[in-house]
Structure 1
Amino acid sequence: MNWIATRMNGRAHYGWVVAAVVFLVLLAAAGTRATPSVMMVPLEHQFGWSRATISLAISVNIALYGLTGPFAAASMQRFGVRPTLMTALVVMAGGVGLSSMMTAPWQMILIWGVMVGGATGVAALTLSATVVNRWFVERRGLVMGVLTASSATGQLVFLPMLAAVAEHHGWRPVVMIVAIVAALVLPLVAFLLPERPSSVGLRPYGEPHDAPRVDGQSAQNPLAIAFGTLASASKSRDFWLLFFSFFICGASTNGYIGTHLIAMCGDYGLSEVQGASLLAAMGIFDLFGTTLSGWLSDRFNSRVLLFWYYGLRGLSLIYLPHAFGIDFFGLPIFAMFYGLDWIATVPPTVRLTTDAFGKDSAPVVFGWVVAGHQLGAAFAAYGAGLLRSSLGTYTVASMISGGLCLIASILVLRIHRSGAARPATAAATAA
């Protein structure tokens, strides 16, 4: 790593290499998280499991993915980014591979829910926030936008191919492909991901030369860091506004559309490959929209950006049940508008979290905010499955999801109204 950084000196900052490695890790994790949506119909046909049963396993996965976030960020402060991330990748690849032998619902809940859910929670938005805060002073919003967009790119790369494999060869080859991809990123993390800029003799990108350096790792227990930060942040109204708005964000994205859209398309006579291709098309728009959102969050009021993102997402979800009845433009219009702000909410939310709680505490605080995101996603994944099983349609779930987004568009306008940063003084995050 030092040799590469030396060769790059004067040409490009090594932080861009770090961002590229993290992008690939998040890409593999995104493909892993998207896999259960491809498996839902094949598992239903092979084992006779109901969508509510399969949705329960997915909801456990989504919930643990979020709840792992603050502890993952704290572990990165205590043990380092690379050891924490490599451990998670080993568990993720092993768990996905092991799932090829499952034959009962409890096995899916244990493997995909607990093992894979917890492991992917490390390779998540808290990883992005930690790396961006350590390696970048300038272009933070842009880099966070690009890293966040890796989730959309994961769908773009994996879903159509995985859906085609599932349609022609069953779900077991799907999980083996995903396990191999997860294992392939391990060497990149091992050899190309230093702990901090100072590890390769650099300062963060854009940091002034006279700025004081902050090196070293916390000596505290990760549990103490995570819960200490939560205790401090939870006294702030801004934290709860961020938490509940992101709860709605997760409910309306990963939990509902990410989990159920392919199965929903099947209700209207579309194949799994067509449903996955629709998600992939949304991924293309989100890759553009989230990167643009990062650029905008460096220049404009993040609260106003979030107001528009949540409002437009809510309207697109209310439109979704009608889109299937419009021959040509229905679903493409939904894919474009929904895709553009699928996860465009992340860069402004990270920016508001950093402004409100300070650079040092922000990754762990954001980890708790992401926990809210994934609890919302788990709620929607299971709730939509129950509504579909009882009503035979996803229409009510779409309307509820859209209405929640409109509520979130109002909530975010109350965040950080004073305009002055109020960094959390959490002793738990002190080195």
Structure 2
Amino acid sequence: MTELREPTGTTESRNRLGVHPAWFVALIGFFALIGAAGFRSVPSVLMDPLHAEFGWSHGTIGAAVSVNVLLYGLISPFAAALMDRVGVRLVVAGSLLLVALGAGLTVFMTQAWQLWALWGVLVGVGVGSMSMPFVATVTGRWFVRHRGLVTGLLTAAGATGQLVFLPLVSTLATHYGWRTPSVVVAIIALAAVPLVLLFLHDFPSDVGVLAYGAEPGSTIGLRKVVRGGATRAVRVLVTSLNKPVFWLLAGGFMVCGASTNGLVQTHFVSAAHDHGMPVTTAASLLAVVGVFDVVGTVLSGWLTDRMDSRWLLGVYYTLRGLSLLTLPSLLGPQAQPSMWVFIIFYGLDWIATVPPVVQLCREHFGDDGPVVFCWVFTSHQLGAAIAATGAGVIRDLQGNYDLAWYLAGGLCGLAAIMSLAIRRNRPAADLRPA
């Protein structure tokens, strides 16, 4: 059951600085997402130090990452529904506290199951409760105009936060041991909590404005009292399963997760180190991926506001697959010019898929779009979990990652085909960018 509450004022009377409050919400969200994502950069850099200290295999450490990314995805739909019920601010603040707790307690771990519990469960639930649910919910409530662009900005914050911390994490781990970066990331996550509690509003109507770009009379941005968060998430899933578009989006996004978070983010540093490249150099290359990811994702959001999202996905997956097929021949002890071409190209395509997927979910599922997107994102994380463990096992059995790169490249071609098979569904006038 949903109740709508009208805004208490007008856009003009509450917007004296000349800047719509939606942009302040997006800015706070940007920094909160970076803080939450920081700890997810730790596993790829610390894989070798943990192996050296505890003797844990790459497969064991990869399994902990798999638990993380799987829970990251599974919790998302329920978090999106919970945001509708108790508010974005409380859910995001609680998520940051979980990330900080999971990060801080890792300094005391001595057993593999503790790695799975902290890296896997606490951080997975914490980050999963605020990343994609937050992006889909905030853009759906606060923006009509530039919705795709803002989706790209916030998505880039989450993914880039995982990558730009890599040089810092790598340097701290090299000079002070692997426990130091865990504490640093915990502090960063805690520092974001006061900003969220003080400045992150749940609905535009809470501050007396309409959603940015909404026309008078639009219901977008009005406070909605939603009951039955968990049951709604399940109900939306059951309804969505009957639509072929859901399976096409979920299948493509599963490949997306496998080819980014599960494979490249988790194993690139280790794979480069196998070829003689210093860990700090490999971590810096991933950080460059994060820098270009911002450009690529924001550009993708801009394109999503103007082009057919299905064709964008088809192009993104095709180009990503081709780049992964060439990666084994590029790895070496030094970053040659050809490797830099891969890093820049792959960075532009890293999570460019998110804005068009969010748009397609809203286009086909209306107000349930944010929850549907979170279920689609669950498949993304399932693919990442399979790749994180599977690539580690391939490395343990064959001594290199070559087969993992080739499999991911081929699957990206399949994802492109599934994306192009989606039928167009024109959104209602209320959902179109103004």
Does residue 128 (structure 1) correspond to residue 135 (structure 2)? The answer is: yes
Determine the C-alpha separation between the residues in 2 that align with 1:419 and 1:221: 28
How many angstroms does 1:221 deviate by? 2.2
Cross-structure match for 1:420: 426
Q: Deviations over 1:284-330 (max 9, x none)?
A: 11111110000000001111111110000000000000112597222
The aligned counterpart of 2:364 is 356
Q: What's 1:57 paired with?
A: 64
Aligned counterpart for 2:16 among listed residues 9, 19, 24? 9
2:5: which partner in 1? none
**AA matched with 1:57:** A
Specify which of 313, 319, 335 is matched with residue 343 of structure 2: 335
Which residue of 2 is the match for residue 378 of structure 1? 385
2:274 to 267, 277, 280: 267
Q: Output the CA distance in 1 between the equivalents of 2:213 and 2:331.
A: 48
Judge conservation of contact 1:80–1:217 (CA < 8 Å) in 2: no
- Distance (Å, rounded) in 1 between the aligned partners of 2:17 and 2:120: 46
Match of 2:310 among 303, 310, 314: 303
1:86 deviates by 1.3
Q: Describe the SS at the equivalent of 1:75.
A: helix
Could you tell me which of 153, 173, 182 is aligned with 1:166? 173
- Which residue is 1:345 aligned to? 353
Q: Unpaired segments of 5 or more residues in structure 2? A: 1-7, 430-434
Alignment of 1:91-170 (within 5 A): 91-170=98-177
Q: Which residue of 1 aligns with 2:3?
A: none
Q: CA deviation at 1:152?
A: 4.0
User: 1:213–1:390: structure 2 CA closer, same or farther, 3 Å change rule?
Assistant: closer
Find 2:89's aligned residue among 54, 78, 82: 82
1:48 to 41, 55, 71: 55
Distance in 2 of aligned mates of 1:213 and 1:365: 18
The answer on 1:318 being equivalent to 2:329 is no
Change (3 A) 1:37 1:191: same
Distance in 1 (alpha carbons) for counterparts of 2:361 and 2:58: 36
Cα pair 1:324 1:330 within 8 Å, conserved: no
Please say which of residues 92-101 and 134-143 is displaced more in the overlay. Answer: 92-101
Residues 211, 220 of structure 2: 8 Å contact kept: no
Q: Secondary structure at the match of 1:412?
A: helix
* SS across alignment from 1:361: helix
**1:125-177 deviation per Cα after TM superposition (whole angstroms, max 9, x unaligned):** 12101000000010000000111111343145311011010111111001000
Aligned to 2:432: none
* Among candidates 239, 251, 255, match of residue 262 of structure 2: 255
Q: Is the 8 A contact 2:14 2:209 kept in 1?
A: no
Q: In 2, Cα distance between the equivalents of 1:165 and 1:420?
A: 50
Contact (CA 8 Å) 2:241, 2:247: kept in 1 or not? yes
The residue type paired with residue 100 of structure 2 is A
| 1:223 to 1:327, Cα distance in 2 relative to 1, 3 A | closer
**Secondary structure of residue in 1 paired with 2:71:** helix
Question: For residue 244 of structure 1, what is the aligned residue in structure 2?
Answer: 251
Distance 1:174 1:73 in 2: 30
For 1:53 and 1:309, the matched residues in 2 are separated by 32
Structure 2 CA distance for aligned equivalents of residues 385 and 422 of structure 1? 46
Point out the more displaced range, 69-78 or 215-224.
215-224
- Residue 391 to residue 88, structure 1, CA distance change in 2 (3 Å): same
Q: How does 1:219-238 map to 2 (within 5 A)?
A: 219-238=226-245
Give percent identity, aligned residues only: 47
Q: Classify 1:215/1:176 alpha carbon distance in 2 versus 1 (closer, same or farther; 3 Å).
A: same
- Cα distance between partner residues in 1 of 2:406 and 2:123: 30
Q: Which amino acid aligns with 1:342?
A: W
Q: What TM-score do you get using the length of structure 1 for normalisation?
A: 0.94
The alpha-carbon deviation at position 7 of structure 1 amounts to: 7.2
Match of 1:292 in 2: 299
Residues 211, 98 of structure 1: CA spacing in aligned structure 2 closer, same or farther, 3 A cutoff? same
Q: What RMSD over aligned residues (CA atoms) do the two structures have, in Å?
A: 2.0
Once residues 419 and 216 of structure 1 are traced to their aligned partners in structure 2, the CA distance between those partners, rounded to angstroms, is: 27
Q: CA separation in 1, counterparts of 2:232 and 2:428?
A: 19
The alpha-carbon deviation at position 81 of structure 1 amounts to: 0.7
Aligned partners of 2:174 and 2:93: how far apart in 1?
Answer: 32
- CA distance in 2: counterparts of 1:7 and 1:78, whole angstroms: 25
Aligned position for 2:190: 183
Whether the 8 Å contact between 1:77 and 1:217 is mirrored in structure 2 is: yes
Counterpart of 1:399, as a letter, is: Y
Q: Amino acid of the residue matched to residue 358 of structure 2?
A: V
Q: Which residue of 1 aligns with 2:398?
A: 391
Report the Cα distance in structure 2 between the residues aligned to 1:204 and 1:422, rounded to whole angstroms: 17
Q: Structure 1: any 5+ residue segments left out of the alignment?
A: 424-431
Cα distance in 2 for partners of 1:232, 1:21 equals 33
Q: Secondary structure at the match of 1:12?
A: coil
Q: How far is the alpha carbon of 1:92 from its aligned partner?
A: 1.4
Aligned-pair distance for 1:420?
A: 3.5
- TM-score normalised per structure 2: 0.93
The number of aligned residues is 420
Whether the aligned pair in 2 keeps the contact of 1:79 and 1:217 (CA below 8 Å) is: no
Q: Which runs of 4+ in 1 moved over 6 A?
A: none
Q: Which amino acid aligns with 1:343?
A: I
Does the aligned pair in 2 maintain the 1:314–1:403 contact within 8 Å? yes
Cα distance between partner residues in 1 of 2:171 and 2:202: 39
Please state how far the C-alpha of 1:283 moved relative to its aligned partner.
Answer: 1.0
